[in-house]
A and B are shown apart, each in its own frame.
Chain A
């Protein structure tokens, strides 16, 4: 019996060497979860967009490694004087993977499909939600949408007519949601377009091969890609929800690239000679501690300021981010413009915090709740914040719930304190300022400051950066004083890869890079 067991073990051991290394022309990417859909307009989460980015392309693309914009399927674009009409000049001779031509009609087809709930290919009743479109363009046609009409000027020119001025429209279109699908493929597949059995058809460097439910999405190189075929023949996306299991699989050689690795795991990455950290500069994201003013005593500005003084953000960033983040000065990351001169962060000063609490009538502190999401670094950071707050007498009970419930509760103003993060949708201060201090501020933080909201809206209308910067400086200063939300950290974007993987450049927006130039050495 023992001998049989031993020989079985040896046999498996021999087999073991076979699974670890794949041929060099395959890249295996580990995500936290497989896409919900790969219909790009309907794809909402970063995992889905990571896959669609390889298959479909956008009019405007993010420059690799920085927040700039570069031509995509549009070679150039221009706006009228008040930014209410944008004209895009398209690349010529581009074909979809199914052989049909890419042209102005195809652009109009997709834009109309996303924008118009009555469009026959919208499939809203079948469950397609177009969350990206709803959120970035304000809704659907006639119901809040900023796009009123898409006009085909000629075969390779298309114009978007807007209901309001948007000076950063190209930035919006470069977001991951708006990749162009083959109209023929959408018409053929109907509501099933983008599901595992059908997949999607675009113009990108990889074409959809197959999608095995719950296991993997397989893409193959588009050999007719206009910039030449990508160096890797097959890209496989797998979903591993547990970050530790994901890292373990990378270490065991079952993955080549792992996304969404927690900075807390980097110690074991850096000590592994087979792994490498690929790091991008200046992540456009902010993690924060919000203080909801619907909940007493957060309605007292002195209490909110006391919280800001009580938390040692620098020590927290040093302890947990493994050098992959900087302590936030304000809500806008340092690499973007829009800051206010002379307005820095609150220093760590527990004595000052206690003083403010006494002034506010809480010499012995108070009991409250701190809510956090149970993923990545968030639990330890919440714990660290709670223990800093305890030092000044604020006894915050730590609480969490699943994401669906969390979203509903924080939007309803049920949490006195909560930690969350925000990832920029596009590289413009607007995505931070408008999100945090715009009309949603009442809902997010219970901060009711109409004059500040007006400033954020005004800044959307004026075209020049200098004028907008002046308005943003006022907003940032007001927020610094009222302290509805304490910015904590800006994290850099990084991936962990196996040694030999080259040509992977993280983008500051956190969008998964297009793998057109990524390969693995043999």
Chain B
């Protein structure tokens, strides 16, 4: 599959020209903050998190441990695919390389995906899926609560809409981790293994690059370190209720936000992108 066309000097010149050409203060002129590359990258990372996790959850459809659980997993998947559509749609509106959210979802290669490593981890068994969900949804919930008050209206709007969905994901995954942790011997062992698998990807959620730091300064992004303590406390509370010990701290694995992923993402994309890539001229 072809990787992305890089932005040529010609493109850059064109972009600069179009910027210069926009009359200052014109009606509906996009704000400068929504236009710049760093903001687009941030919004894309939020969209990629939702997209990849939504894709993973949809793999469960028809195979869950009970019919009711099948419906729950599908609901979460649908919420996340909806969120991805909104975030990536917003990113595409400000990125002339991509016509729409679909172009971003289906026509980028691994190096351009900015999701965290946690969400691309395989489903494993139901315990691993719930461990991943708890770790991610708790983080996403705390983030979106704050992002709903961001200075950029479009970002704040999507965050405010998504936060209600994610509050439920967080609650449901908490409920399951407690039941599996404090269930049978087998479920305890599996739950511990699921958490252990996901634990090394937590630090990435709180990584702050220079780029992100700058966005935080401008009030566009939220500094995840501002809720790291609350996050750790929430996880500790869930684990205590689940009668589980926290996994030993592990060497953090980083890179997703810069396009350096696990081996799993390439396979996920190969499946997800196969149709639009095979028939680039087709509409669906």
Q: Do A and B bind each other?
A: no
Task: List residues of chain A with CB under 8 Å of any chain B CB.
Answer: none
